[in-house]
Structure 1
């Protein structure tokens, strides 16, 4: 019954209400309350996991295996990273087919008139009508004079040498002023040498030097030959090389996995780079990754070398590797900037002209950019007059931010600090100060 026992006080018992399923009337309610049983399908997974714990473990292993199969890896770029400098963004002059400047193009903002004028100069250079002349960029500081000069060199071609210098660089206590100017002139003249050579090219799969007893006697050993394995897309080859080539391999720091080529006639070794199959081997690597060579290991290949005339001058002025006492003493002494003689340059010019006549080499005139040209004195200007008429002369671009001022080394005043006889040879392009709209676009 619902009546409480007499031992318990009435206030201690909570009031009880009849369950909703009970009805008041003649029939007394049942003492057991009615519960609705939960659906069996909800309890099935819990009972299965409790009854069979290995099934839950298998499910966890399956999900972990699926997560391991779906790995996300970062793709390593095989392109060579280049340093970002002040004018790295300049890709050309930003002109259309008609020679009209496009608003924001090729890294340029504004300076439409100057860019169009430089485009005309580029057309004259291509038609070989700028011989004996030079270009002068005149304008206030920070108006893009250096960028225009670099844009001209980019329009002429990506492999065209570009040699920038400042007018104050010519003053040195070791070298004459005219020597510094001529050195930069030769730096701005490129030479593209093409040769057909028989080479062995491929990825190094094996590099094992073979030792033998020394011919001089004693307990020492010497390297008799080197066995090297080269692999290309078509096949592999094992080569037995002379021990002198092993020294060249060590000098080039060749290891297994590198792509190299060996000239068959001279035995010269050139390391091209690391095979791109090893691109994901390390994250921090200063390597240039190249694809595995196509074709056979032994092939005839056209090798193109880009050098400047100054590189040839420097290589012949200071030959290295002599075994006599004077050469060894010269290598140990402190290196001092040496002046290259005119006789040596004439000999190199003869060899270069012979290569050009035979079709082995091709002359690539570059761009010599002289900034702050008002810092040059009258001797340098007279030397420039003669150098512009030389058959081996680059495109000379001068830049200044001065108006009428005194020519250095004289008492006379002249526009831009340049003598009148040199001004007659110049094509002058003026740059303008950036306006507010161009400033907003620029920054």
Structure 2
């Protein structure tokens, strides 16, 4: 059940005023330390940004210079600075310097177009589980206890229903305002008849939410007893109250022609055996008696080590009786011509 919250995603769109361009100048200006002493402190930073349309020189606060140092910004880098928060993001090296070195692990980006000062739409994709974890383990704080807590090994914090409810309220508010867009995920539950009655109760309640993902149940059982109960029988092992709310899609068995098409998909290059029709008849019969995975595994035994192969009827019969792991010895054993 811990896999249910991560699937709904949230696409947050935000329009920010940014300064974007290639760094042409980066000059920190120093002044005398107001606290006294012989040391100096940085009063402001002069940075020049260039785009395809023009250039602009900015005077930045000393705190932004620390962000520039953390991003390791230097002349020739393409960056953008958020006007409201002062956050700095280094996008990469300008592609005009691509021929500067023969080999390097740098990412080159084109010179930005338009003005240096622009409005940029930033799209961020997060999941509800990311929001739950971020709010369950809040970071920050300048006191000694907060700093010591960050140094120690982080403990796994429980994500309570109350916390999920508060986050869902904020998410619904953002969706109503048009700030965020809900991206429903898909949760596939195979062998759903193995879930007990408590799991179905949780699922039934979780699916009531407006931000619940699309859930697909798969089962190969008919009427059977619901796990966790003694004598309650239901189709596919799903409680009737939940079964009434799902759409049942019946899957049909493969026809012999479809089995032949599925079995021939992994054959690259195609089989060159002179007994091709007899081989497909045997393989399709094995497909019907056992399973698609078993038939494909027989093909893997015969064909995985051979780029061009000749398969005999006796080879296929041997592989069906003894489906071992395909190795180089199998290529010799089954007369595969490499």
Give the TM interval when normalised to the shorter protein. 0.5 to 0.7
Partner Cα separation in structure 1 for residue 25 and residue 191 of structure 2: 56
Q: Is the alpha carbon distance of 1:328 and 1:234 closer, same or farther for their aligned partners in structure 2, counting shifts above 3 Å? A: same
Give 1:248 shift: 2.2
* Equivalent of 1:318 in 137, 155, 176: 137
Which aligned pairs between 1:291-306 and structure 2 lie closer than 5 A?
291-306=110-125
The yes-or-no answer on 1:356 pairing with 2:175 is yes
Partner Cα separation in structure 1 for residue 242 and residue 262 of structure 2: 34
Partner Cα separation in structure 1 for residue 39 and residue 132 of structure 2: 42
RMSD (CA atoms): 3.0
Higher relative contact order, chain-length normalized (CA < 8 Å, sep 6+): 1
Structure 1 stretches lacking a partner, 5+ long: 1-169, 171-179
Partner Cα separation in structure 2 for residue 273 and residue 411 of structure 1: 63
Which aligned pairs between 1:256-275 and structure 2 lie closer than 5 A?
256-275=75-94
> Which residue of structure 2 aligns with residue 236 of structure 1?
55
Q: Is the alpha carbon distance of 1:344 and 1:281 closer, same or farther for their aligned partners in structure 2, counting shifts above 3 Å? A: farther
* Structure 2 residue matching 1:300: 3-state secondary structure: strand
The yes-or-no answer on 1:226 pairing with 2:45 is yes
Length, aligned pairs only: 262
Partner Cα separation in structure 2 for residue 437 and residue 420 of structure 1: 38
* Equivalent of 2:24 in 178, 189, 205: 205
Partner Cα separation in structure 2 for residue 240 and residue 409 of structure 1: 68
> Which residue of structure 2 aligns with residue 39 of structure 1?
none
TM-score (norm 2): 0.66
Partner Cα separation in structure 2 for residue 402 and residue 283 of structure 1: 62
Give 1:281 shift: 5.2
> Which residue of structure 1 aligns with residue 202 of structure 2?
383
Q: Is the alpha carbon distance of 1:402 and 1:332 closer, same or farther for their aligned partners in structure 2, counting shifts above 3 Å? A: farther
* Equivalent of 1:424 in 199, 224, 244: 244
Q: Is the alpha carbon distance of 1:437 and 1:392 closer, same or farther for their aligned partners in structure 2, counting shifts above 3 Å? A: closer
> Which residue of structure 2 aligns with residue 441 of structure 1?
265
> Which residue of structure 2 aligns with residue 396 of structure 1?
215
Give 1:422 shift: 2.9
Larger Rg: 1
> Which residue of structure 2 aligns with residue 369 of structure 1?
188
